[in-house]
Amino acid sequence: MASIPVEHGLILAALLFALGLIGVLTRRNIVFVLMSLEVMLNASGLAFIVAASRWGHAEGQVMFLMILTLAAAEVAVGLGLIIQMYRRFHTVDINVLSQMKG
Protein backbone atom coordinates (compact mmCIF):
# COMPACT_ATOMS: atom_id res chain seq x y z
CA MET A 1 0.00 0.00 0.00
CA ALA A 2 1.11 3.49 -0.66
CA SER A 3 2.07 5.80 2.15
CA ILE A 4 0.46 9.08 3.12
CA PRO A 5 2.62 11.71 4.86
CA VAL A 6 1.52 12.09 8.46
CA GLU A 7 1.76 15.85 8.29
CA HIS A 8 -0.77 15.95 5.53
CA GLY A 9 -3.28 14.16 7.65
CA LEU A 10 -2.59 16.43 10.52
CA ILE A 11 -2.74 19.53 8.37
CA LEU A 12 -6.11 18.36 7.11
CA ALA A 13 -7.23 18.07 10.70
CA ALA A 14 -5.83 21.50 11.46
CA LEU A 15 -7.58 23.03 8.48
CA LEU A 16 -10.88 21.51 9.47
CA PHE A 17 -10.38 22.67 13.01
CA ALA A 18 -9.63 26.21 11.89
CA LEU A 19 -12.67 26.26 9.67
CA GLY A 20 -14.83 25.11 12.53
CA LEU A 21 -13.33 27.78 14.66
CA ILE A 22 -14.16 30.45 12.15
CA GLY A 23 -17.68 29.13 12.16
CA VAL A 24 -17.92 29.34 15.92
CA LEU A 25 -16.56 32.84 15.90
CA THR A 26 -18.60 34.31 13.12
CA ARG A 27 -22.04 32.82 13.22
CA ARG A 28 -24.75 34.42 15.28
CA ASN A 29 -27.15 31.60 14.81
CA ILE A 30 -26.58 29.26 17.68
CA VAL A 31 -27.38 26.19 15.61
CA PHE A 32 -24.55 27.11 13.30
CA VAL A 33 -22.29 27.56 16.24
CA LEU A 34 -23.14 24.11 17.42
CA MET A 35 -22.56 22.72 14.00
CA SER A 36 -19.20 24.40 13.78
CA LEU A 37 -18.35 22.90 17.11
CA GLU A 38 -19.10 19.51 15.66
CA VAL A 39 -16.67 20.23 12.91
CA MET A 40 -14.00 21.07 15.42
CA LEU A 41 -14.63 17.96 17.46
CA ASN A 42 -14.53 15.91 14.33
CA ALA A 43 -11.25 17.48 13.37
CA SER A 44 -9.70 16.55 16.65
CA GLY A 45 -11.00 13.03 16.16
CA LEU A 46 -9.31 13.00 12.80
CA ALA A 47 -6.04 14.00 14.41
CA PHE A 48 -6.33 11.01 16.72
CA ILE A 49 -6.97 8.65 13.88
CA VAL A 50 -4.01 10.03 11.96
CA ALA A 51 -1.79 9.58 14.95
CA ALA A 52 -3.11 6.09 15.51
CA SER A 53 -2.43 4.99 12.00
CA ARG A 54 1.05 6.49 12.17
CA TRP A 55 1.86 3.94 14.87
CA GLY A 56 -0.52 1.29 13.67
CA HIS A 57 -2.28 1.29 17.02
CA ALA A 58 -5.91 0.93 17.96
CA GLU A 59 -5.87 3.43 20.83
CA GLY A 60 -6.51 6.31 18.50
CA GLN A 61 -9.75 4.74 17.44
CA VAL A 62 -10.71 4.24 21.05
CA MET A 63 -10.12 7.91 21.64
CA PHE A 64 -12.15 8.75 18.61
CA LEU A 65 -14.91 6.67 20.07
CA MET A 66 -14.73 8.69 23.25
CA ILE A 67 -14.86 11.92 21.30
CA LEU A 68 -17.81 10.59 19.43
CA THR A 69 -19.61 9.84 22.66
CA LEU A 70 -18.76 13.27 23.93
CA ALA A 71 -20.04 14.86 20.77
CA ALA A 72 -23.25 12.90 20.93
CA ALA A 73 -23.91 13.87 24.52
CA GLU A 74 -22.91 17.45 23.88
CA VAL A 75 -25.17 17.76 20.90
CA ALA A 76 -28.06 16.28 22.80
CA VAL A 77 -27.65 18.71 25.67
CA GLY A 78 -26.79 21.62 23.40
CA LEU A 79 -29.82 21.11 21.24
CA GLY A 80 -31.98 20.81 24.32
CA LEU A 81 -30.65 24.12 25.47
CA ILE A 82 -31.27 25.64 22.07
CA ILE A 83 -34.85 24.55 22.23
CA GLN A 84 -35.20 26.08 25.65
CA MET A 85 -33.60 29.26 24.44
CA TYR A 86 -35.85 29.48 21.50
CA ARG A 87 -38.86 29.00 23.73
CA ARG A 88 -37.77 31.79 26.04
CA PHE A 89 -36.39 34.34 23.62
CA HIS A 90 -37.98 33.33 20.34
CA THR A 91 -34.71 33.69 18.54
CA VAL A 92 -31.59 31.76 17.89
CA ASP A 93 -29.46 34.87 17.99
CA ILE A 94 -26.59 34.18 20.31
CA ASN A 95 -26.15 37.89 21.14
CA VAL A 96 -29.44 37.85 22.95
CA LEU A 97 -27.77 35.68 25.53
CA SER A 98 -25.35 38.45 26.47
CA GLN A 99 -27.34 38.96 29.66
CA MET A 100 -24.79 36.65 31.14
CA LYS A 101 -22.57 39.72 31.26
CA GLY A 102 -21.02 40.09 34.69
Under rule CB under 8 A, residue 88 binds another protein: no
Sign of the Cα torsion 42, 48, 53, 54 reads positive
Under rule CB under 8 A, residue 94 binds another protein: yes
Minimal distance, residue 64 CB to another protein, in Å: 5
Under rule CB under 8 A, residue 89 binds another protein: no
The site map against another protein for 20-59 (x = CB under 8 A) is xxxxxxxxxx-xxxxxx-xx--x--xx--xx-xxx-xxxx
Burial of 8 per CB tally in 10 Å (0-12, 13-18, 19+): exposed
